[in-house]
Chains A and B, each alone.
Chain A
Amino acid sequence: MRRRFGVMTERLGLRIGRVALGGFGWIVLTYLALPLVVIIGVSVTTTAYLRFPPVGFTLKWYAQFLSDPSYLDAISTSAVLAVNATALALLLGVPTALVLARAHFRGEKGLAALFLSPLILPPIVMGAAILQYAGALGFARTYGAMLVGHTVIVIPYVVRTTLASLVGFETSLEEAARDLGDSGPGAFFRITLPIIKPGIIAGALFAVIISWINVELSMFNTTAHLMTIPVKLFNYIQYSVDPMIAAVSAATIYVAIVVVAILDVTVGIDRVAASNE
């Protein structure tokens, strides 16, 4: 009897535990989404001050920032910077990952660590370093200074995801192609590239977004005429907040949602998330 009671309480305990965990999971999800939902909400309020839940519905704040050239300039600077830094990082990072996955030589591990190290070094120190270095070489506060800095911080994402896609990849496939007379580059484009494509896509998307949202590195090198959108937002929000700036912020959230959707459709978000250590 007592034993049976014990089993029952344990079953009950199990069920309660599971329900509690599930409830907690959904609460955390709400918590993760809430600040973003709040920004989108206040961006459509008809009041001149921030109000959540919003009062009424209007798109006038979006119209207001879209008719302000300084915001459009900042958005285009950020977009061009993100695309260029990503292109450069792909050019440098993909061959690096291929070599690191295939070739075996002394110092291989140290080299892999070097390519991933921009991930752990504080971006604020990186920003200061780039400003100081570019200053000494005469290109401080220029587009070039930002481009090299952004490229350095996004390279690890490309290297990491490409490396992950090469793990467990049978080099014998490529060797077989070669044995059958396919030349080196041919084998690469026909065999290797399709296999590492998901890794490259995921790495490129990560790189674009990391550059697009960066503040800490950019703020050292921005000027009144060379401004990225997150730095512009940051400078504004520190002094005042209104529904118009919420509309600009909400627009950047839509970009994030679109990129996450692309990531999910092309590679599968659960796969990317799981390989992302």
Chain B
Amino acid sequence: MVALLLPSLAFLLAFFIAPFVMVAFASLQDKTGAWSLANYARASSDLFYWRTLLLTFRISLWTTLVAFAIGYPLAYYITLVVKNRAIRRLFYIIVVTPLFTSSVVRSFGWMVLLGRRGLVNDALVASGLVDRPLPLMFSEAAVVIGLSYIMTPFMVLTVSSVLQNIDRSLAEAAEDLGASRLVTFLTVTFPLSLPGVIAGSLIVFTLSVSAYVTPSIMSGGKQVVMSMLIFQQYGSVFDFNFGATLAVALLVTTLILVAGYLLAIERRPRAGREVA
């Protein structure tokens, strides 16, 4: 029976693992093919790459926070408050449809909304809050707005799949014992939903770190993130070795951050204690 795994294993080995191994090797070679750490020396000695990496992580962190702030309450509402299945399905349809649309199209939508003559500026000017349209596009904030929009459905789906499986009798017991709804939420429901929050924030953060389309469109190329540098090396500079180095650097630093995040969570005293 295990033999059934061979075709898929062979496929992944040939077209997934081998290409990645090749990138890792390429990052350790110079243009002549000789082994060398020159690419890494070049990337780490230039402050520009460090700044780009920092901007990439800062944008991803903001995106994760915004996606959590927007996504968690919606997930809670859909799974624990809405009782009607038809309405719940409607909610899920609206959450999933953007996910099934290319990030190009979704970012384009924000471009129209945030542009000088877009809906948001029209509303701001009409309400008298500002005299003339604000430059909302092409900034770091625009990238965060676009990316958090793209990422919110991931957060909603991950959190709601956990919320849905929480044993509701626990929250009911807390309320029977006199805890208010808010205290029940903070001491029972939220701590139990933490695995979903952790998984959701990891998905959102890692996807944001490597996002290319949304940062390109929302920043108009004015904010440079790591994925843009990688594509530049492969697509226009044609320095595959240095491109590979940047790709490996992005991958490794992301993994380090994720590992640090998971470690920090493990060490944390059990959630809810401090409230109770």
Contact = CB atoms under 8 A, between A and B. Distances in A.
Interface of A: 10, 13-14, 17-18, 21-22, 24-25, 28-29, 31-36, 38-39, 42, 50, 52, 91-93, 95-96, 98-99, 102-103, 105, 111, 114-115, 118, 120-126, 128-133, 135-136, 148-149, 151-152, 155, 209, 212-216, 219-220, 230, 233-234, 237-238, 241, 245-246, 249, 252-253, 255-257, 259-261, 263-264, 268-270, 272-277
B240 A237 contact: no
The 6 A-B residue pairs with the shortest CB-CB distance in the complex, in nearest-first order:
A35-B109, A122-B210, A129-B19, A256-B100, A133-B19, A25-B77
Given A99-B1, A122-B210, A17 B181 contact: yes
A7 to B, nearest CB: 11
B109 A39 contact: yes
A96 B108 contact: no
B143 interface: no
Given A29-B91, A125-B23, A269-B92, A98 B4 contact: yes
A238 B247 CA distance: 23
A25 B74 CA distance: 5
A98 B115 CA distance: 50
Contact of A95 (B4, B112, B153, B180): B4
Contacts of A219: 212, 231, 235
Interface stretch (B7-15, B41-49, B166-174, B265-273): B7-15
B177 interface: no
B50 interface: no
B85 A270 contact: yes
A132 B15 contact: no
A124 to B, nearest CB: 5
B163 to A, nearest CB: 9
Assign chain B's interface to a size class.
35 or more
B8 A155 contact: yes
A209 B100 CA distance: 6
Contacts of A32: 94-95, 98, 149, 152-153
A35 B77 contact: no
B5 A95 contact: yes
A52 B235 contact: no
A131 B244 CA distance: 11
A39 B108 contact: yes
Contacts of B112: 35, 38-39, 42, 50, 52, 241, 246
B160 interface: yes
B234 A136 contact: no
Contacts of A277: 157-158, 161-162, 199
B113 interface: yes
Interface in B80-120: 81-82, 85, 88-89, 91-98, 100-113, 115, 118-119
A33 B1 contact: no
Contact of B74 (A28, A233, A234, A252): A28
Contact of A129 (B23, B102, B106): B23
Nearest to B199: A277
B97 to A, nearest CB: 5
B261 interface: no
A20 to B, nearest CB: 9
Nearest to B71: A28
Contact of A273 (B74, B161, B181): B161
Given A230-B104, A260-B93, A215 B212 contact: yes
Contact of B206 (A14, A120, A129, A261): A120
Contacts of A269: 89, 92-93, 96
B181 A14 contact: yes
Contact of B22 (A25, A31, A133, A149): A133
A204 B15 CA distance: 20
A228 to B, nearest CB: 10
Nearest to A104: B2
A154 B261 CA distance: 28
Contacts of A129: 19-20, 22-23, 247
B62 interface: no
Nearest to A120: B206
B5 to A, nearest CB: 5
B217 to A, nearest CB: 6
Which of B74, B115, B162, B206 has most A Cβ within 10 Å?
A: B74
Nearest to B163: A274
A237 B81 contact: no
B108 A215 contact: no
B70 interface: yes
A92 B6 CA distance: 9
B115 to A, nearest CB: 8
A276 B20 contact: no
B234 A256 contact: no
